[in-house]
Amino acid sequence: MKKKWIEKSIILFALAGVLVLFAFFLKDVLIPLFSMELNNDINGAKELLSSKGIFGGAAVSLIEALQMVVVFIPAEFIQVSAGLSYSFPIALLLCDLGVCLGASIIFVLVRTLRFDPSKSKKAEEQIKRMGAKKGETNTQLLMYLLFITPIVPFGAICYFASGSKISFRRYILTVATGVIPSIITSNLIGAGVKAFILNSLPLWLLVLIIVLLMVLLFVLLWLFLDKIYFRGHDGTPDSASYFIFIKIITLWRKHCQKLNIDDEKLLGLEPPFVVLCNHVSFYDFYYVIALLKDYKPAYVINHHILSAPVLRIFAKKTGMIPKKIFTPDTAAVKILRTLRSGYPVVVFPEGRLSIDGCSSPIIESATAMYKKIGYPIVLANISNAYYSYPKWRSRFYRSEISISVKRVITPEEIKQMSVEELDKAIGEGLNYNENQSLTNRYRQKNKAKGLETMLYRCIDCGELYSNRGSGNDLICTACGKVHHLDESYRFTDDAESIPAYYERIKEIERSQLDGIKLETNVSVKVYSEKKPRVRKESGVCTLNKNAFTYCSDQIEFSIPTEKLPALAFSCGKEFELYYKNEQYYFYPTEEPLQIARWSLIIDLLREERLADEKEKSTY
């Protein structure tokens, strides 16, 4: 009890000191400075900066020191303020002295008084995960890494390092030098703001300076990670590129929605293993990152995403595995190689985003490979994410999203299963229907916007391409029928739900399947692994029950529908497929709503073939 009372007293005393000194600095330096600049009193501002001298400087150093002890007070403001109030060399010196003073206080508190502040616990746990299995030398490297990243407060880094076996000499040297890039950046931002206030710097140049300083700090971080901390891990999920990617994605997305994670079944599971996950929305990759926060998995991604040279280099450096969707390629070999290197691999086996919020068929099943290699299979399932950012809408809606591990299939279980039994288990683990357990409420007023690019046919009058999404209503311009979406994203009439509406469109198309023939003029982008990597042309696409055909001035080809298991597409924009290792993006020059129809017809033809095969096998 006495120890806790002492710890609380120290925190309260330090916090009070910060507030007092901060108030002094704000009242006597910053507020008068801004007031003078508003009155264009440039001479008065200069005199103020020089008049405070040692007292203002002492306030800067003490505030910098005390914010480290308290931990949760950000250091950036005082560093920017110092740059605003003093010349750059003096501001740098004052801030660095303050950091060293605070670091020394922390070292004494931890080593002598066994001080254990609760507010730094979460940050320390994050540091410990990053520095797992590292020795004293690597503790020093870890400190350098953290000082130039916005991940952990300076104070938390010092509390962590003070609890290690690092010597005070090495500790204080690391602190004094490691914080310099961050302090320089903040000081120069303050100096730039001062120049702007003094009307000697245009606003655009101030913004440019701040951006360039951020880029410089990022470059320093990159070089340190790539050349020192993660040296020798290029091309794997242990690389610097992978580390930075995960941190950027996490900082970008973690406050955008509430994410419920159930990873209990992962406890005790050691890599390598295969993670199979359903594909509901555009941000599924982030939800899996959050689920596997304690692992470093490689991701199987759409090969076309890597068509840009920068992304291709990035994927190579991070150990990502490119896959040509719905087309045989060498991805299976790369998956096996990655697993044998000791890394988990994440696969979205449906191959494309859910169209209607329900499970899509797993067309390119790798079940036989998973059974043969015998690594554990983790079945992850994302729910309540479809309506946050579906395939047909261009905006993200904040919502509560869940991701859970449904099952871990062990190598022993895999060995005892047939391919069919394993395939069934995978299908059950990934199965979902967004309309069975809707928990979110969507109060937005434009929920139907873009919905016509997926629900392209009116189920009341049967007219093609007559639907329009307006506000929360799906309106048929042919018969005038209106279907209204409520806050649960359900229709308030007999249409019931988006999946139910889509199923009724399927019934109409299925009844007309025998005589189906689609044709459209298209503009085309062709992505190739040869030069030129991108070429443009125009032509005509046709689709009937037997084949898909494309004809242009440059090329003509036909693909039997039995060799075209699915058609990837972007709602209202394009559909795509591979032919002889080239990826064709077809952009209809006529009605854009027809794109979803082309994909649905291919799906129905596949369903029909599978039904025929099943019927024949029973005889």
pLDDT for 15 beyond 90: no
Residues 494 and 550 in one domain: no
CA atoms of 353 and 277, how far apart (whole Å): 12
CA atoms of 250 and 252, how far apart (whole Å): 5
pLDDT of residue 518: 96
- Contact (CB, 8 A) for 585 and 574: yes
Domain for residue 136, yes or no?
A: yes
pLDDT of residue 38: 47
More confident residue, 126 or 508: 508
pLDDT averaged over every residue in the chain = 80
Domain for residue 444, yes or no?
A: no
- Contact (CB, 8 A) for 566 and 552: no
pLDDT for 151 beyond 60: no
| Cα–chain center distance at 480 | 41
Which tokens belong to 416?
A: 């005892």
pLDDT of residue 433: 87
Domain for residue 187, yes or no?
A: yes
Q: Total domain count for the chain?
A: 4
Domain for residue 229, yes or no?
A: no
User: Cβ contacts of residue 346 below 8 Å, gap of 6+?
Assistant: 275, 277, 288, 292, 297, 298, 299, 300
Read off the pLDDT of each residue in 315-342 and give the average, rounded to a whole number: 86
Q: How confident is the model at residue 7 (pLDDT cuts 50, 70, 90)?
A: low
Which tokens belong to 171?
A: 């500790």
pLDDT for 400 beyond 80: yes
Q: Which residues constitute the domain of residue 568?
A: 515-617
**pLDDT per position as a tens digit, 516-548:** 999 999 999 998 877 778 899 999 999 999 999
Strand positions, DSSP E, 572-613: 574-579, 582-588
Read off the pLDDT of each residue in 23-46 and give the average, rounded to a whole number: 54
Read off the pLDDT of each residue in 271-281 and give the average, rounded to a whole number: 93
Residue where the block lists tokens 């003096």: 90
Residues 83 and 122 in one domain: yes
Domain for residue 597, yes or no?
A: yes
Give which of 5, 6, 10, 4 is closest to 105, Cα–Cα: 10
Give which of 380, 356, 321, 314 is closest to 505, Cα–Cα: 356
pLDDT of residue 363: 81
CA atoms of 107 and 161, how far apart (whole Å): 8
Amino acid at 164: S
For strand 377-383 and strand 517-527, is the pairing parallel, antiparallel, or unpaired?
unpaired
Residue where the block lists tokens 């007293």: 9
pLDDT of residue 537: 94
pLDDT of residue 209: 62
Q: For 46-55, 257-266, 352-361, 531-540, which range has the lowest pLDDT when averaged over its residues?
A: 46-55
Q: For 4-8, 83-87, 242-246, 461-465, which range has the lowest pLDDT when averaged over its residues?
A: 4-8
Provide the 8-state DSSP code for 525: E
pLDDT of residue 589: 94
Q: How confident is the model at residue 294 (pLDDT cuts 50, 70, 90)?
A: confident
Residues 535 and 504 in one domain: no
Count of beta carbons in the 10 Å neighbourhood of residue 163: 18
Residues 506 and 527 in one domain: no
Residues 139 and 255 in one domain: no
Residues 520 and 411 in one domain: no
CATH number reported for the structural domain that contains residue 603 in this entry: 2.30.29.30
- Backbone φ and ψ for 437, nearest 5 degrees, come out as -145, 60
Q: For 246-250, 478-482, 544-548, 604-608, which range has the lowest pLDDT when averaged over its residues?
A: 246-250
List, as one string, the DSSP characters of 112-161: TS----GGGHHHHHHHHHHTTT--HHHHHHHHHHHHTSSSS-HHHHHHHH
Residues 467 and 502 in one domain: yes
CA atoms of 63 and 60, how far apart (whole Å): 5
Q: How confident is the model at residue 123 (pLDDT cuts 50, 70, 90)?
A: very low
Domain for residue 110, yes or no?
A: yes
Distances (CA, A) of 489 to 281, 436, 468, 481, 482: 15, 12, 17, 18, 15
Q: For 49-63, 303-317, 395-409, 418-432, which range has the lowest pLDDT when averaged over its residues?
A: 49-63
Q: For 182-191, 422-431, 564-573, which range has the lowest pLDDT when averaged over its residues?
A: 182-191
Read off the pLDDT of each residue in 584-592 and give the average, rounded to a whole number: 94
Residues 501 and 542 in one domain: no
Residues 301 and 378 in one domain: yes
pLDDT for 227 beyond 70: no
pLDDT for 503 beyond 80: yes
Read off the pLDDT of each residue in 355-370 and give the average, rounded to a whole number: 86
The last residue of a domain, from among 384, 414, 430: 430
Residues 470 and 367 in one domain: no
- Contact (CB, 8 A) for 385 and 281: yes
Read off the pLDDT of each residue in 196-224 and give the average, rounded to a whole number: 61
Provide the 8-state DSSP code for 444: -
CA atoms of 32 and 385, how far apart (whole Å): 51
pLDDT for 190 beyond 70: no
The last residue of a domain, from among 175, 191, 222: 222
Collapsing DSSP to helix, strand or coil, 572 comes out as coil
pLDDT for 191 beyond 90: no
pLDDT of residue 118: 46
**pLDDT per position as a tens digit, 550-562:** 999 889 999 999 9
Domain for residue 450, yes or no?
A: no
Read off the pLDDT of each residue in 95-114 and give the average, rounded to a whole number: 77
Read off the pLDDT of each residue in 399-411 and give the average, rounded to a whole number: 93
pLDDT for 511 beyond 80: yes
C-alpha Rg value of the chain to the nearest Å: 30
Read off the pLDDT of each residue in 159-175 and give the average, rounded to a whole number: 79
Residues 363 and 468 in one domain: no
pLDDT of residue 275: 96
pLDDT of residue 10: 57
Domain for residue 441, yes or no?
A: no
Amino acid at 123: A
Read off the pLDDT of each residue in 184-204 and give the average, rounded to a whole number: 60
Residues 97 and 162 in one domain: yes
More confident residue, 529 or 197: 529
**Which run of H or of E encompasses 241?**
helix 240-253
